[in-house]
Amino acid sequence: MSLPAEHWREARNLRLAACLRGADPMLEALGLAREGVLRRAVGLTLEASGCSAPLGARCRVETSGGRWVDTEVVGFAGDRTYLMPTADLEGLLPNARVVNTHRRGEVAVGEGLLGRVIDSDGAPLDGRGAVRPENRVGLAGTAINPLMREPISRSLDVGVRAINALLPIGRGQRIGLFAGSGVGKSTLLGMMTRYTAADVIVVGLIGERGREVRDFVETTLGAEGLRRSVVVATPADRPPLARLHGALRATAIAEWFRDRGLHVLLLMDSLTRFAHAQREIGLSVGEPPTTRGYPPSVFARLPQLVERAGNGADGRGSITAFYTVLTEGDDQQEPIADAARAILDGHIVLTRRIADAGLYPAIDVEVSVSRVMQEITDAPWRARIRKLKQLMAAYNTQRDLIAIGAYQHGSDPLVDEALARWPAILQFLGQDVGEAADIEASRAALARVLDEALPPSNDPARKPA
């Protein structure tokens, strides 16, 4: 067909559609909406014309063999609508039909989700049949008025000694777990799934290796852990929109349990992959890469996701959330790490240097921060945390000298004390994956490390001036 003829036909269709809508305004509600036509497919972006659907609406595109692929409206320009698929694009044909389903992203929720492993569309991955929904909630959630939110005032036991004692976590806090690849983020999240005092655990495995999903469900959670958990898994090979939806779905499920008054632990591995998915979407619809290759929508999406976690209104349940953030090449200034640090209520940094020394969990106590510590700890406890950080900082400034035996005892009383307490500090920080340490035990262990009497030769108080 020649181009003018095509334009003429399109214009006629538009006029016809307008007349029909004028005749019966309920036409769209009856599902008799005008269909669009697929004009272009480049990479993962589809362009349709003649399909007037709002941003975020779901459209279906027909493929060869009569199959339909679900897509979402991610942008438009003139009469062109940009769509992105939530599943694999196979058998796509030019001029395929595009139908607006008049639905937005929805999440089926219910008690039946407990113990289940689902994908970003809510389809079961564990081969145990469909999940029976009790209700449906929006994928995007509903914002809580910040003034109505219950403040963070109670601590949450996460079962990890170094965190419980030195970086106490509050119920409803949102924390980032920052580390380079292979430093132990997933293992630490695994420990928390087993030991945290929460009613429900929602795990979002976003954009990570597919192999790890099975490992996480079978080994880390195990049958016992899975019983109180919901796992939403969207591995790296899924389209970017599916990865985005995986994180939104996990958050929506956590919100539903929270709104029923439960205390939820939400673990997202990883926030970086969520940002990468949004970057792929933004760039492919033509957004400019403004911050080191990231388009602006990434930095708008991150707080939208993270702000959904936290305490509910008027004491109705809580979502305490941990988001892993990959700091590429251990670069803490990487834009996603930087943005995440600004919007979260604390960050725990895992360091390769510590992991390489065989000390797990490899938490770098000196640079990790919990921003709600003031509200959930008392003064003597905070004094001990400060003291331990000072000792570690003193030791680390002289680390090289100590390693080669060149440090002169007596040159710095704080370093002398750190040296004397060092074996006890290492023992306190290290924790086996199979071991749990509750808050009381962690606090007592911290007190033991710092209050233990030192031999006279090492006691700074007895040193001559």
Ligand X SMILES: Nc1ncnc2c1ncn2[C@@H]1O[C@H](COP(=O)(O)OP(=O)(O)OP(=O)(O)O)[C@@H](O)[C@H]1O
Residue 152 binds which of ligand X, Mg ion, none (CB < 5-8 A, kind-dependent)? none
Report, in Å, the least distance between residue 155 CB and ligand X.
Answer: 23
Among 45, 49, 186, 220, binds Mg ion (CB under 5 A): 186
Residues contacting 324, CB < 8 A, separation 6+ = 176, 177, 178, 179, 185, 186, 189, 268, 269, 270, 271, 272
360 contacts ligand X (rule: CB under 6 A): yes
What is the x/- site pattern for Mg ion, positions 423-452, by CB under 5 A? ------------------------------
- Strands 97-104 and 310-311, how do they pair? unpaired
- Tell me the sheet residues that pair with 61: 69, 98
Report, in Å, the least distance between residue 254 CB and Mg ion.
Answer: 20
361 cis-preceded (ω within 30 degrees of 0): yes
Question: Which one of the spans 36-44, 95-103, 180-188, 440-448 is the region binding Mg ion (CB under 5 A)?
Answer: 180-188
Report, in Å, the least distance between residue 1 CB and Mg ion.
Answer: 52
Identify whether the C-beta of residue 414 lies closer than 8 Å to the C-beta of residue 391. Answer: yes
Report, in Å, the least distance between residue 430 CB and ligand X.
Answer: 9
Identify whether the C-beta of residue 177 lies closer than 8 Å to the C-beta of residue 348. Answer: yes
Question: Which one of the spans 161-169, 182-190, 222-230, 426-434 is the region binding Mg ion (CB under 5 A)?
Answer: 182-190
Residue 187 binds which of ligand X, Mg ion, none (CB < 5-8 A, kind-dependent)? ligand X
Residue 200 binds which of ligand X, Mg ion, none (CB < 5-8 A, kind-dependent)? none
Write phi, then psi, for 234 (nearest 5 degrees). -135, 90
Q: Is residue 210 packed enough to be buried (19+ CB in 10 Å), middle (13-18) or exposed (0-12)?
A: middle
Nearest alpha-carbon partner for 38 in 26, 49, 25, 24: 49
What is the x/- site pattern for ligand X, positions 167-206, by CB under 6 A? ------------x-xxxxxxx-------------------
Residue 96 binds which of ligand X, Mg ion, none (CB < 5-8 A, kind-dependent)? none
Among 410, 433, 435, 462, binds ligand X (CB under 6 A): 433
Structure tokens at 95: 């001029």
Q: One-letter amino acid identity for 35?
A: E
Residues contacting 3, CB < 8 A, separation 6+ = none
What is the 3 state secondary structure string of 370-407?
Answer: ECCHHHHCCHHHHHHHHHHHHHHHHHHHCHHHHHCCCC
Nearest alpha-carbon partner for 345 in 364, 321, 327: 321
Residue with Cβ nearer ligand X (69 or 177): 177
Identify whether the C-beta of residue 287 lies closer than 8 Å to the C-beta of residue 295. Answer: yes
Give the Cα separation of 282 and 12 in Å (integer).
Answer: 33
Residue 138 binds which of Mg ion, ligand X, none (CB < 5-8 A, kind-dependent)? none
Residue with Cβ nearer ligand X (206 or 281): 206
Report, in Å, the least distance between residue 247 CB and ligand X.
Answer: 16
Residue with Cβ nearer ligand X (11 or 367): 367
Residue 361 binds which of Mg ion, ligand X, none (CB < 5-8 A, kind-dependent)? ligand X
Question: Which one of the spans 147-155, 177-185, 361-369, 429-437 is the region binding Mg ion (CB under 5 A)?
Answer: 177-185
Residue with Cβ nearer ligand X (108 or 158): 158
| E strand segments, 134-179 | 135-138, 155-156, 169-170, 174-179
Instruction: Find the residue with minimal CB distance to Mg ion.
Output: 186
What is the x/- site pattern for ligand X, positions 7-26, by CB under 6 A? --------------------
What is the x/- site pattern for ligand X, positions 320-359, by CB under 6 A? ------x---------------------------------
Give the Cα separation of 445 and 377 in Å (integer).
Answer: 16
Q: Which residues bind ligand X (CB under 6 A)?
A: 179, 181-187, 208, 326, 360-361, 433
Q: Which residues bind Mg ion (CB under 5 A)?
A: 185-186
